[in-house]
Amino acid sequence: MPPKEQITSSMKSDVFGEISLKIEDLCVDFLLSGGDLRAVYHLDFELPAHKMTGLVGESGSGKTTLTSAILRSVSTPGEITQGKIFFENQDVLKLSDEKLRRFRWNEIAMVFQAAQNSLNPSMTIQEQFAETIMAHRKNISNKEMMEISRKLLKQVKLEPERILRSYPHELSGGMKQRVMIAFAQLLDPPVLLLDEPTTALDVITQDYIFTLIKQMHDQTHNTMLLSTHDIAIVARVCDYMAVMYGGRIVEMGDIFTMFESPLHPYTQMLIKAAPSLVGELKERVAIPGSAPDLMKHHEGCIFADRCPYCYDRCQSEEPKLKVVGEEHLAACHRADIGKEGR
């Protein structure tokens, strides 16, 4: 394996400049007894390099399926049926098994949703760290390994000596989550996927973990994709925000653009629906209707039946994600009206 420094991300995008990942026309299907469910639907996505991008969506919108598709680890009965995922100009979906094994964790690592279940309960943290490092780097010395582990644990404000000797059950939820964040960085991957890293944690612990993640990002400038249902967290830490709905990305752009002049009605309504500690209570309105049934075939726009601006074209023709401004994409036939203020 060549040393890390020689690999340079050379992918460019017209919209976001340098990018780390490029996804084209990706479909992930779940083959269920009642029919096929397309959890990710002909999705195009570019992940800006060295930035933190928030992937926002409600439950069932396909966030987790998309992030696990990037690592080619969609859980059965899910299957990637179509599309391309480019990392350093190489299609991840075409990698051989051996190359894929080396690619995972080395190039792209992931912090999973339930940290409690991601650690092996019968091994100490040290053993688990060692196992992972050795699987990827044959010639590493024991001393070097310990050094990496200590450094990473210190970065997430844990005492290395104590933690390395511990079993997962001896740690609290917040500590385990921080161990997982350190774990994901063991091989110093250029891209990090974080899937709801703070669900089930207290507000203060959550705040603390995001402070750590932000500090880490400021130091390493790794590319990060943070998927969450909480847009307030994205507002706090991310540089870009992508909004998912019904297996599609409906809008993506710079964080300030997304919050101050969103063009997709779903984004606009989602921001209005989020409870907040500041601002007028009456301004907060829920989105009428409920999430789309992905077992059904949708003619036209997926959001049409909940959208207040829907017209005939929305019912018949599916809107494509297109450039609507500087570093700003939206999939809506009526995005132009949005600019003038609806």
Residues interacting with another protein, by CB under 8 A? 58-59, 172, 174-175, 202-208, 210-211, 229-233, 235-236, 255-256, 259, 269-271, 273-279, 281, 284-287, 290-291
Query: Using CA atoms in the order 101, 103, 107, 111, what is the torsion angle rounded to 10 degrees?
Result: -40
CA distances from 290 to 65, 210, 286, 306 (A): 20, 30, 10, 8
* Least distance (Å) between residue 285 CB and another protein: 7
For another protein, the closer of residues 176 and 298 by Cβ is 176
Task: Supply the minimum distance, in Å, between the C-beta of residue 105 and another protein.
Answer: 26
Nearer residue to another protein within complex by CB, 291 or 310: 291
Q: How far is the CB of 10 from another protein (least distance, A)?
A: 30
Contact 22, 191 (CB under 8 A): no
Pick between residue 40 and residue 209 the one whose CB is nearest to another protein: 209
Residue with tokens 């969450």: 228
- Give the SS3 label for residue 211: helix
Determine the Cα–Cα distance for residues 33 and 12; give it in Å rounded to an integer: 41
In this complex, which beta carbon is closest to another protein, that of residue 168 or of residue 190? 168
Minimal distance, residue 293 CB to another protein, in Å: 10
Closest contact distance (angstroms) between CB of 175 and another protein is: 5
Q: Of 167 and 259, which has the nearer Cβ to another protein?
A: 259
Residues in CB range of 62: below 8 A, 6 or more apart: 28, 39, 40, 41, 43, 244, 246, 247, 248
SS3 249: strand
- Which residue, 170 or 317, has its beta carbon nearer to another protein? 170
CA distances from 193 to 51, 70, 75, 175 (A): 12, 9, 17, 19
- Closest distance of CB 171 from another protein, Å: 8
**Smallest distance, Å, CB 166 to another protein?**
12
* In the complex, least distance from residue 212 CB atom to another protein, rounded to whole angstroms: 11
Q: Pairing state of beta strands 35-48 and 191-195?
A: unpaired
| C-beta of 18 vs 239, nearer to another protein | 239
> What is the spatial distance between Cα 305 and Cα 285, in angstroms, rounded to a whole number?
17
Residue of 180, 195, 252, 184 whose CA lies nearest to 64 = 195
Nearer to another protein, 2 or 279 (CB): 279
* Whole-number Å distance between alpha carbons of 272 and 308: 14
Which residue spans within 57-173 are E strands per DSSP? 78-87, 90-91, 108-111
